[in-house]
């Protein structure tokens, strides 16, 4: 096996490691509300989320993967592009690990996009990046939480009105069962959007290696690409099963106090948002989405119910993710180039 093949295999393995890290980094997004409302214990919640993360591959076509794989314009005749994609991955992984350790629910999606952009800029400057795809993602930095917040608010108000004559104990019992469904739907949306980002990276690697054409389409019925879809969803499910308790505490317990009815509304609003954007092929932050949904639900009982200081800290983490991941990726590329 020559060094080039070994490097491509190593990069693919690293992409799957990123997927695992993404899974445990974002596990809190899928399980925070169902744990905070004590419908499931953390152990059972992560397995519930992991299972539905996995089956998402049967629900969504790989439109998000197509967006990610085309962030950087790749010349398959230039082997240096392997270093570009590899450096982008390293930037995202390092930033994810830093924010996970700090307990900040930042976006793995934006870390990956920032990493790819930073590595691309370090190699060939502005012209190598397809900015229209980057801006489409950047637009949803504010839009994803706003959509989640609006859906969460509308759903919570609707539920209050529909069940206004029910006793609190009846409402609580109903929505404890309902949260199993809403958490499952959110996990499908999370798996569908986030696992596809790693698929896109692997496609970019194989295009850079000259093994795939730039217009390749991922499909479960094509044996040459099915392994990419399957391996990425398995990696995501494994990562989710490993959990992320540090961030669960921030997402589910510190932003606002949730009851089962609130958890159901937040998860359902988040799931609806993710299903919508994944259908459009837009890579969004699942962290943004569920945070906006939780804030929308909490705000229905009064603005004072939301701990805005915690929400503000999360927003700052979002803002710095793309540039900081880009810087780490650029430094990684320069280091690789120096050793090449």
Band of the pLDDT at 251, cuts 50, 70, 90?
A: very low
- Please give the tally of structural domains in the chain: 1
Average pLDDT of the chain to the nearest whole number: 84
Write down the H helix ranges in 103-130. 108-124
Q: Which residue has the higher pLDDT, 339 or 182?
A: 182
- β partners of residue 72: 129
Band of the pLDDT at 256, cuts 50, 70, 90?
A: very low
**pTM for this entry:** 0.85
Q: Look at residue 304 and tell me whether its pLDDT is greater than 90.
A: no
Per-residue pLDDT tens over the stretch 90-137: 998 888 778 778 776 677 788 889 999 999 999 998 899 999 989 888
Rg of the chain over CA atoms, in angstroms? 20
Q: Which domain holds residue 323?
A: 3-339
- Give, in order, the Cα–Cα distances in Å from 284 to each of 10, 52, 85, 220: 27, 19, 20, 23
Q: Residue 327 class from Cβ within 10 Å (0-12 exposed, 13-18 middle, 19+ buried)?
A: middle
Q: Look at residue 190 and tell me whether its pLDDT is greater than 80.
A: yes
- How far from chain centre, in Å, is Cα 111? 10
What does residue 41 show for φ and ψ, rounded to 5 degrees? -70, 160
Band of the pLDDT at 306, cuts 50, 70, 90?
A: low
> How far is it, in rounded angstroms, from Cα 147 to Cα 274?
10
> How far is it, in rounded angstroms, from Cα 135 to Cα 127?
15
Per-residue pLDDT tens over the stretch 21-63: 778 767 666 676 677 777 777 778 878 888 998 999 999 999 9
Q: Given this model, what pLDDT does residue 211 score? A: 87
């Amino acid at each position: 096996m020559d060094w080039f093949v070994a490097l491509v295999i190593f990069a693919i393995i690293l992409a799957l490691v990123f997927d695992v890290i993404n899974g445990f980094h974002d596990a809190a997004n899928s399980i925070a509300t169902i744990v905070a409302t004590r419908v499931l214990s953390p152990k059972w919640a992560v397995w519930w989320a992991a299972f539905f993360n996995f089956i998402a591959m049967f629900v969504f076509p790989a439109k998000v993967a197509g967006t990610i794989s085309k962030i950087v314009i790749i010349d398959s005749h230039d082997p240096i592009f392997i270093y570009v994609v590899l450096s982008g991955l390293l930037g995202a992984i390092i930033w994810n690990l830093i924010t996970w350790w700090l307990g900040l629910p930042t976006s793995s999606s934006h870390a990956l996009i920032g990493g790819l952009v930073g590595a691309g800029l370090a190699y060939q400057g502005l012209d190598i990046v397809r900015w229209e795809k980057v801006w489409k993602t950047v637009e949803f930095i504010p839009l994803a939480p706003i959509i989640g917040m609006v859906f969460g608010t509308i759903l919570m108000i609707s539920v209050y009105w529909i069940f206004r004559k029910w006793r609190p104990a009846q409402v609580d019992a109903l929505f404890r069962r309902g949260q199993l469904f809403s958490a499952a739907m959110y996990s499908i949306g999370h798996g569908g959007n986030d696992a596809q980002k790693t698929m896109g990276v692997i496609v970019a690697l194989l295009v850079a290696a000259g093994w795939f054409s730039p217009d390749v389409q991922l499909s479960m019925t094509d044996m040459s690409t099915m392994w990419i879809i399957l391996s990425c969803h398995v990696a995501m499910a494994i990562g989710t099963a490993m959990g992320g308790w540090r961030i669960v505490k921030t997402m589910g317990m510190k932003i606002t106090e949730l009851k089962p009815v609130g958890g159901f509304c937040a998860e359902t609003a988040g799931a609806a948002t993710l299903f919508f954007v994944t259908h459009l092929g837009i890579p969004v932050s699942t962290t943004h989405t569920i945070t906006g949904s939780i804030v929308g639900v909490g705000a229905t009982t009064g603005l004072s119910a939301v701990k805005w200081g915690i929400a503000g800290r999360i927003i700052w983490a979002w803002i710095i993710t793309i540039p900081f991941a880009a810087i780490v990726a650029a430094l990684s590329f320069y280091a690789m180039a120096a050793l090449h």
